[in-house]
Amino acid sequence: MTRPRASLVSLSDTPWYHVVTRCVRRAYLCGFDRLTGRSFEHRRGWVELRLRQLAGVFAIDVAAYAVMSNHVHLVVRVDADRAAGWSDTEVLRRWRCLFRGPVVVERFLSPATRTEMTEAELDGVAELIATYRARLADLSWFMRVLNESIARMANREDGVRGRFWEGRFRSQAILDETALLAVMAYVDLNPIRAGIAETPEESAHTGIAARIAALRTSDEGMTEGRPTNVQRSTPETIDASPAAHTTTDHTDTSPNACSDNRREAALDRLPPAPLMPFGNPAEVPAVVPFTLDDYLPLVDSLGRALHPRKRGSIPAELPEILSRLGIAPERFVEHAGFLLKGFGAAIGAPQRLTALAAQRECRYLRGVRHAKALFSTPATANPSATAA
């Protein structure tokens, strides 16, 4: 039975989510289609760039991603507290990076015309600000803008209309640190499991490849997988002026096409945000609660263990992070290739799944048996708590 999105994405349960969105009919609309002989590989770059750009506008951090030929995996953290701390002006400027908005918003943003606004107009703007603030910390709106943008670009390139993505994206709540580590490794190793890459650094359009590339260019202003020369977007770096919503592309002169072209031109101007850094949540809340020194060797070791010619082998040099978080290495390797197929709306330690089922007043959540096999001991911490 399909559950409403509000019950699947509940920030009171956890701010961490694994998201999967697929092309219609699972067609190779972002890769090489052997049936037709056409290559759409360049569209994977579109998706990668756009999701990094949108992460700089929304209060949503991207911890891991893998853009495949016919689907996309994301691991994100929704930061509602960050959105709540934005000023009214910042909320409006960020929203105008995505949508033109009513004229009253433009008047409010201009000091010259704001003083001339009536009380009714100011009340209307206040309501819009509350709505936009909520949407900027909403996973559904993030995915909507991402998917619509890519669909418009692809349809324009193909000269067609219609759906590019399936109607609903799938989301899974990540309930604890053990689950977060497992899901991030699962996502970063997707190209290796699919046989389209041999090593993590060769897996194009993935978060792990981006982090490794940043490390390799550390002498050019990069540090620990987070580019220091790419900052999170702010109202000063985002161009939300009316001119940012215009373009000279008039291949389709219909009103809707012109509006879409203006929107794409505005999105193209956005700077890409850095990936979520690794660190200590007690010091900086919005971080992945591990160290990069632990994570990279783990992904490399698991990637070799999951190689088709080496399936089932357990690298002796697996980092101790597995033991610290209560994950059995043998079980982890055994289940990693099929990790998320065994879980439903949430993934985590057995007791966390049981507690969430009771909270949602449902008989059970799919995945308890897999959780018992994968996670040998209780999780040491909850990312929603440590990152609060």
pLDDT by residue (tens digit) across 270-303? 999 999 999 988 888 889 999 998 899 888 888 8
Higher pLDDT, 359 or 223: 359
Report, as an integer, the average pLDDT of 224-246.
Answer: 43
pLDDT of 312 over the 80 cut: no
Residue-level pLDDT at 16 = 96
| Distances from the Cα of 118 to the Cα of 3, 107, 114, 247, 305, angstroms | 43, 11, 9, 33, 66
Q: Please report which confidence band the pLDDT of residue 308 belongs to, taking 50, 70 and 90 as the band edges.
A: low
Q: Is 272:52 a contact under the CB 8 Å cutoff?
A: yes
Beta strands in 165-262 (DSSP E): 170-174, 222-223, 226-227
Q: How many residues would you count in the chain?
A: 388
Q: 266 near 54, Cβ under 8 Å?
A: no
Q: Tell me which range, 73-82, 254-263, 315-324, 375-384, is most confidently predicted by mean pLDDT.
A: 73-82
234 compared with 74, residue with greater pLDDT:
74
Q: Can you list the pairs that 86-91 forms with residues at least 24 positions away whose Cβ atoms lie under 8 Å?
A: 86/59, 86/133, 86/136, 88/126, 88/129, 89/235, 90/234, 90/235, 91/129, 91/132, 91/133, 91/136
- Give the pLDDT confidence score for residue 356 in this predicted structure: 86
**Is 284:292 a contact under the CB 8 Å cutoff?**
no
pLDDT of res. 93: 94
- Does the pLDDT at position 387 exceed 80? no
303: CB partners within 8 A, 6+ apart: 189, 192, 199, 200
pLDDT at 259 over 70: no
pLDDT for residue 218: 65
Cβ neighbours for 297, distance < 8 A, ≥ 6 positions apart:
317, 318, 319
Q: How many CA atoms lie within 13 A of 117 on its CB side?
A: 21
The CA dihedral of 239, 245, 249, 250, to the nearest 10 degrees, is: -170
Residue 32 and residue 30: Cα distance in Å, rounded?
7
Q: Which of 58-62, 136-140, 258-262 has the lowest mean pLDDT?
A: 258-262
Count H helices, E strands: the chain? 18, 9
The DSSP output letter for 230 is S
The mean predicted confidence, pLDDT, of the chain is 81
Q: Burial code of 53-63, b = ≥16 C-beta within 10 A, e = fewer?
A: bbbbbbbbbbb
The reported pLDDT for the residue numbered 260 is 67
pLDDT of residue 20: 95
How would residue 252 be classed by pLDDT, with cut points 50, 70 and 90? very low
Confidence of residue 241 (pLDDT cuts 50, 70, 90): very low
Q: Residue 377 above 60 pLDDT?
A: no
Distance CA 96, CA 107 (A): 13
Q: Tell me the C-alpha distance between 378 and 175, whole Å.
A: 12
Q: At residue 184, what is the residue type?
A: M
pLDDT at position 375 over 90? no
Condensed to tens digits (0 to 9), the pLDDT of residues 72-89 reads 999 999 999 999 999 999
The C-alpha atoms of residue 12 and residue 48 are separated, in whole angstroms, by 29
Beta-strand (E) ranges in 97-194? 170-174
Q: What are the E-state strand segments in the chain?
A: 16-22, 32-33, 38-39, 60-67, 71-78, 170-174, 222-223, 226-227, 346-347
Q: What is the pLDDT of residue 6?
A: 58
Cβ atoms of 277 and 77 within 8 Å: the answer is: no
Instruction: Name the token pair of 280.
Output: 């200590």
Mean of pLDDT values over 139-158: 94
First to last CA, the chain: 32
Report pLDDT for 258: 57
**CA 56 – CA 272 distance, rounded (Å):** 6
pLDDT in tens, 87-121: 999 999 999 999 988 999 999 999 999 999 999 99
Please name the amino acid found at residue 275.
L
pLDDT for residue 238: 53
Strands 170-174 and 346-347: parallel
Highest mean pLDDT range out of 57-71, 224-238, 266-280? 57-71
Q: Does 249 score more than 60 pLDDT?
A: no
Average pLDDT estimate for 178-191: 91
